Amino acid sequence: MWQFHLQNLLQIKEISQIYAFDVFEEAFKIKNDKIIYSTNLEDFQDLDIDFVDIVAPTKFHKSYLEIFIKNNKNIFVEKPMVSNLEELKQIQELIKQTNYNKNICVWFIERFNVISKQFKKYISNFWEPKQIEIFRYNPWSDRVADVDVTTDLMIHDIDLVNYFFDNKQVNIIWKNTQNESSTVLLKVWETDITLWANRITQQKIRQIKFYYPDKTIIWDLILWKIEIYHKPSTYLSNKWQDLDITYMLEEKVLPKTNQLKEELEEFIAKIKWEKCNNISTIESSELNMEILNNLVK
């Protein structure tokens, strides 16, 4: 996974030097004059670097965070920030003890899907849906064998809920969380939100459905496609149109963007103290971890 980050870091013009650490030397596949590799993390700890990008299995996040918080570095860490809420509280205590004054941001790439950003604006500027369903199905991968499906997959959608609703109070109404499949019902104010996550599948699904009284909106995060099913009586303005039809379908396919590169660029902008609207901070990550803790405990 970290090699995807490395490929995108090489494309960002502000970056002049990259120091890449991995315990396995055979992982050093990308050759570039900007990159210096090492299997010894201590080689890099005293360097004057602008930020650290932690892309490792979740169980190692806490130990890496501790190293670079003590060194007062800007940190970008893959989701989830740490393994559980207790680890997060330990990290927050370390931040207080060390007077850490840099930025910690958490990698939630779905925030940078062009459709996610569009619907964030849509919800904020117009009205909240009556109901939302979020489906995230992914075939089993040995890469994430050490975490359950809620921590691995559903954490993305927990974060999207907090992102869409500006970190409002999220209430857990019902849950059925197992190792390979989970279903959770949440409520934010008057909106019911059902999350579905599944690893017992050979089908990859990323869909979000918004239900309003006069329309249903479905977006596909893989195909970058939006389908809007309008209620004819409110969508058609001409009285002579046939209103016996069930719905009026409007389809849009949005241009693909490089979500990871956009996220890294926004993190760099945040380091420069520029305004950033989409990236996940340690505060929003705390809300995600609190919900996740209540789901899997």
Does the domain made of 2-107 have the CATH classification 3.40.250.10? no
Mean pLDDT across the stretch 284-292? 91
Residue where the block lists tokens 């090699």:
3
Q: Is the pLDDT of residue 44 over 80?
A: yes
For residue range 195-243, what is the model confidence (pLDDT) as tens digits? Answer: 999 999 999 999 999 998 888 999 898 888 889 898 776 555 555 555 5
Structure tokens at 63: 């130990």
Model pLDDT, residue 244: 56
Mean pLDDT across the stretch 110-139? 84
Sign of CA dihedral 206, 124, 264, 11: positive
Number of other residues whose CB lies within 10 A of the CB of residue 193 = 24
Strands (E), the chain: 18-21, 35-38, 51-54, 74-78, 104-107, 131-137, 171-177, 181-188, 191-198, 205-211, 215-220, 225-230, 248-253, 280-281
Mean pLDDT across the stretch 23-40? 93
Mean pLDDT across the stretch 39-68? 92
Mean pLDDT across the stretch 47-61? 92
Q: Where are the domains of the chain?
A: 2-107, 110-256
Give the DSSP letter of residue 144: G
Model pLDDT, residue 205: 94
Give the orientation angle of helix 2-9 with respect to helix 259-271, to 10 degrees: 70
Give the DSSP letter of residue 273: T
Q: Is the pLDDT of residue 166 over 90?
A: no
Measuring CA to CA, which residue among 218, 209, 185, 180 is closest to residue 197? 180
For residue range 55-105, what is the model confidence (pLDDT) as tens digits? Answer: 998 899 999 999 999 999 999 999 989 988 999 999 999 999 999 999 999
Number of other residues whose CB lies within 10 A of the CB of residue 143 = 10
Return the H-helix or E-strand segment holding 119.
helix 114-125
- The mean pLDDT value of the chain amounts to 88
Residue where the block lists tokens 């870091």:
9
- Tell me how far apart the terminal alpha carbons of the chain are, to the nearest angstrom: 28
For residue range 173-199, what is the model confidence (pLDDT) as tens digits? Answer: 999 998 899 999 999 988 999 999 999
Dist. CA 28–CA 56, nearest whole Å: 15
Q: What is the CATH number of domain 110-256?
A: 3.30.360.10
Q: Is the pLDDT of residue 246 over 70?
A: no
Measuring CA to CA, which residue among 176, 134, 173 is closest to residue 156? 134
pTM: 0.86
Return the H-helix or E-strand segment holding 296.
helix 282-296
User: Among 155-169, 212-226, 243-257, 260-274, where is mean pLDDT lowest?
Assistant: 243-257
